[in-house]
């Protein structure tokens, strides 16, 4: 039995603060008559990049969305279920790999919606799970008492019975040069974890499932009496995704299935969780708001300064490689979304996907952008 909570929030609550660097990038006034009636959302893995290598002519395609002076001409963003680093760092990485200037506001990751629940847990102890910098991500969103899974697990001796057999033990990460006991930054032995956030794909499934089961079964305090299950949030629910390896790799959805199956078996109660990321329609609504704000920044439209609700798109294009995630999400979101499926990632078929058919199937992202610009006479 599965419980899937759908997170809802008023779009008016989405922050519209503009970063200084973004305003500098798009400071040149543009004629109001030139405002585009369309916007584009790109998936990253399997569409723009494979690992850290650009694919499908993505650098050339993206450069066509800028003017000769480097200012943005067509509003676009990256809509990915990936993550593990702050949006600012991901924007810098993409800028370097693709040879264009990307703003942090153009990067919407799977965990980006977590910032909308910061008021619930701002001063509470939470655990951030996953590769990369999960605690840094949550801290940047405004959570004040965050511990990564690596750090949290290191404070509980023998919580991971297999740590001694691993190449790099948990305790080594935080105390390589000392034999002293670690001193927690927070009172983890008496303060209960109020929520767990799976920010990115975990790199140690065995340990993370064990510790999460401890947190969830024992009311946020491992090794104590059983208690009420704290909330757990997943940044996405992808079963598979396209990485550098030729065939698909297991994603966060696979980890969630593994955790759910084990938790249900050992606890006798079904796991209650909330998952974000595509294909959740909220993600696409959020993307639409951000794209509208980009138009406001590009053209300095005064009627959009109330949060970017004055401009309406006739079409928003979702370019992705995963029918279950990208195409399904665009279908759920409905108008004005138009889905384009590429053959450079998860999907490699000649015909359209039968379960989640896209509005258009094309080989590469470069061909997709070419099709859009011709269709929109841009």
- Stronger pLDDT, 111 or 36, i.e. the higher one: 111
> Which of 82-91, 128-137, 197-206, 234-243 is predicted with the least confidence, judged by mean pLDDT?
234-243
Q: Are 258 and 207 in contact (CB under 8 A)?
A: no
- Give the model's confidence band at 297: pLDDT under 50 very low, under 70 low, under 90 confident, else very high: confident
pLDDT score of 15: 41
Q: What is the pLDDT of residues 137-172, one digit of tens each?
A: 999 999 999 999 999 999 999 999 998 888 654 444
- Give the model's confidence band at 311: pLDDT under 50 very low, under 70 low, under 90 confident, else very high: confident
pLDDT score of 183: 78
Q: What is the pLDDT of residues 336-355, one digit of tens each?
A: 999 999 999 999 999 999 99
- Give the model's confidence band at 6: pLDDT under 50 very low, under 70 low, under 90 confident, else very high: very low
DSSP conformation letters of 202-214: -S-HHHHHHHHHH
Q: Are 136 and 115 in contact (CB under 8 A)?
A: no
Q: What is the mean pLDDT of the chain?
A: 87
Residue 119 C-alpha from the chain's centroid: 20
The answer, as to whether pTM is greater than 0.85, is: no
- Give the model's confidence band at 306: pLDDT under 50 very low, under 70 low, under 90 confident, else very high: very low
All domains of the chain in start order, with CATH: 18-110+279-375 (3.40.50.1000), 112-275 (3.40.50.1000)
C-alpha–C-alpha distance, residues 171 and 173, integer Å: 5
pLDDT score of 30: 53
pLDDT at 23 over 90: no
Q: Are 297 and 310 in contact (CB under 8 A)?
A: no
pLDDT score of 22: 46
Q: Coil, helix or strand for 140?
A: helix
Radius of gyration of the chain, Cα coordinates, nearest whole angstrom: 22
pLDDT over 90 percentage in the chain = 75
pLDDT score of 206: 96
Beta partners for residue 125, in sequence order: 145
Determine the average pLDDT of the residues in 190-207: 97
- Give the model's confidence band at 122: pLDDT under 50 very low, under 70 low, under 90 confident, else very high: very high
- Stronger pLDDT, 369 or 35, i.e. the higher one: 369
pLDDT score of 32: 55
- Give the model's confidence band at 360: pLDDT under 50 very low, under 70 low, under 90 confident, else very high: very high
pLDDT score of 141: 97
C-alpha–C-alpha distance, residues 81 and 201, integer Å: 10
DSSP strand E in the chain: where? 3-5, 38-42, 49-50, 53-54, 76-79, 107-108, 125-129, 145-148, 195-198, 232-234, 240-241, 249-250, 272-275, 315-320, 337-342, 360-362
Q: Are 252 and 201 in contact (CB under 8 A)?
A: yes
């Amino acid at each position: 039995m599965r419980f899937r909570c759908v997170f809802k929030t008023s779009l008016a609550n989405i922050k519209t603060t503009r970063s200084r660097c973004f305003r500098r990038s798009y400071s040149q006034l543009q004629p109001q008559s030139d405002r585009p009636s369309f916007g584009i959302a790109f998936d990253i893995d399997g569409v723009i990049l494979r690992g850290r290598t650009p694919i499908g002519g993505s650098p050339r395609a993206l450069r066509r969305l800028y003017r000769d002076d480097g200012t943005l001409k067509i509003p676009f963003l990256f809509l990915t279920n990936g993550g593990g680093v702050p949006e600012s760092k991901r924007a810098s990485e993409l800028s370097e790999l693709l040879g264009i200037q990307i703003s942090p506001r153009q990067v919407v990751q799977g965990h980006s919606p977590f910032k909308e629940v910061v008021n619930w847990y701002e001063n509470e102890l939470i655990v951030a799970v996953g590769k990369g910098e999960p605690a840094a991500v949550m801290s940047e969103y405004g959570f004040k008492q965050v511990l990564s899974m690596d750090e949290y697990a290191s404070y509980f001796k023998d919580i991971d019975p297999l740590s001694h057999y691993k190449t790099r033990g948990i305790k080594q990460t935080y105390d390589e040069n000392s034999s002293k006991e670690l001193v927690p930054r927070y009172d983890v032995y008496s303060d209960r974890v109020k929520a767990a956030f799976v920010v990115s794909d975990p790199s140690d499934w065995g340990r993370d499932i064990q510790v999460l089961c401890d947190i969830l079964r024992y009311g946020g305090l491992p090794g104590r009496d059983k208690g009420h299950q704290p909330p757990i949030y997943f940044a996405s629910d992808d079963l598979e995704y396209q990485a550098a390896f030729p065939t698909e790799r297991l994603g966060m959805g696979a980890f969630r299935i593994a955790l759910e199956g084990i938790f249900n078996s050992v606890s006798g109660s079904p796991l209650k969780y909330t998952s974000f990321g595509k294909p959740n329609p909220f993600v696409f609504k959020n993307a639409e708001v951000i794209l509208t704000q980009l138009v406001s920044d590009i053209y300095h439209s005064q009627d959009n300064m109330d949060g970017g609700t004055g401009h309406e798109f006739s079409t928003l294009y979702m370019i992705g490689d995963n029918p279950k995630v990208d195409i399904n999400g665009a279908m759920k979101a409905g108008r004005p979304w138009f889905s384009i499926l590429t053959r450079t990632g998860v999907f490699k078929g000649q015909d359209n996907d039968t379960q989640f058919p896209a509005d258009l199937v094309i080989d590469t992202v470069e061909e997709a952008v070419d099709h859009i610009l011709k269709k929109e006479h841009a």
